[in-house]
Amino acid sequence: MNIEVIQKTDEAYYLEWYSECIEYRNKFVKHQKLIGCFLILLALIIFFTVEDIFFISIIPLICGIALFYGSFSIKKKFLKQLRSNESYNSDVKFIFDNDKMTTIDKFSSSTVNWAGFKEAIKSPKGLVLVLENGANIYISKSALEEKYMDEIIAKIENTSR
C-alpha cells in the first residue's frame, strides 16, 4: 500500500468534518437540539397541566434551553477556534503505507502506526479514522478515492484484531 492524499482544510472541509464526526461518533450531540426541544415542550406541558407543582417546570425548561443553545455554541466555538489557527485554509498531506500513516502540514508532521487506530468509519462524504486515544481524523471523498478508503479500512480492521 502506498497512498498519498492532499486534503485542503478550508471552512467547507471543517464543516463537513464536524457534521460527519457528530453523525458517526457523538450520538448525544447529534440529538442535542431534539432533546432540548423535548425538555422545553415537557416544561410547557407541566406548567399548563399540573397546577399544584407548576414551579417544577422550571427545571426541564432551563435544561432544555441550555441544551438547545449549547448545540449551536459548540459549533460556533469550534469554527472560531479553527479560523484563528494558522494552519487553517492550508493543505494537509496524508501518506498511507504498509506500516503507518504519516500526516504532514506546513508546521508539523506526525506518524501513527496501524495499531494506533481503533476503527475506520466510511461515511457518505468521506472517511473518519478513529485513533486509540479517541481523536478523529477526517478525509473527504473529494480527496480520497473510494477504492483507497476500502483498502485503508481493511488494513485497520486486520491490524486491530
Summarize pLDDT for 141-157 with one digit per residue, the tens. 999 988 899 999 999 98
Query: Given a cut of 70, is residue 46 above it in pLDDT?
Result: yes
As given in the structure block, the three cell numbers for residue 73 are 455554541
pTM tops 0.85, yes or no: no
Instruction: Enumerate long-range contacts of 39-42, CB under 8 Å, 24 or more apart.
Output: 39/63, 39/64, 39/67, 40/64, 40/65, 40/68
Percent of the chain with pLDDT over 70: 96
Cα–Cα distance for residue pair 1/24, rounded to 1 Å: 26
25 falls in which pLDDT band (50, 70, 90)?
low
As given in the structure block, the three cell numbers for residue 77 are 466555538
Query: Given a cut of 90, is residue 63 above it in pLDDT?
Result: yes
CA 59, 65, 67, 70 torsion: positive or negative? negative
As given in the structure block, the three cell numbers for residue 147 are 477504492
